[in-house]
Amino acid sequence: MQPETGGRPATHRRLILATRNAGKIRELHAILDAAGLDVELVGADAYPDVPDVKETGVTFAENALLKAHALARATGHPAVADDSGLCVDVLGGAPGILSARWSGKHGDDRANLDLLLAQLADIADEHRAAHFACAAALALPDGTERVVEGKLEGTLRHTPTGTGGFGYDPILQPLGETRTCAELTADEKNAISHRGKAFRALVPVVRELLG
The mean pLDDT of the chain is 92
Residue 10 pLDDT more than 90? no
pLDDT at 96: 98
At the second CATH level, the architecture of 14-210 is Alpha-Beta Complex (3.90)
Average pLDDT, integer, range 132-143: 97
Write out pLDDT tens, residues 72-97.
Answer: 999 999 999 999 999 999 999 999 99
Residue 106 pLDDT more than 90? no
pLDDT at 8: 37
pLDDT at 2: 39
Strand order in the sheet with 14-17: 40-43, 14-17, 79-88, 129-139, 145-156, 172-174
pLDDT at 4: 44
Write out pLDDT tens, residues 154-169.
Answer: 999 999 999 988 899 9
Q: Which residues contact 85 (CB under 8 A, 6 or more apart)?
A: 60, 95, 96, 97, 98, 99, 100, 132, 133
How does residue 130 score in pLDDT terms, banded at 50, 70 and 90?
Answer: very high
Q: Catalytic site residues? A: 83
Q: What are the sequence ranges of the domains in the chain?
A: 14-210
pLDDT at 190: 87
First to last CA, the chain: 27
The answer to whether residues 46 and 16 touch, using CB atoms and an 8 Å cutoff, is yes
Phi-psi region of 139 (alpha: psi -120 to 50; beta: other; left: phi over 0): beta
pLDDT at 199: 96
Three-state DSSP state, 86: strand
How does residue 7 score in pLDDT terms, banded at 50, 70 and 90?
Answer: very low
**pTM for the whole thing?**
0.90
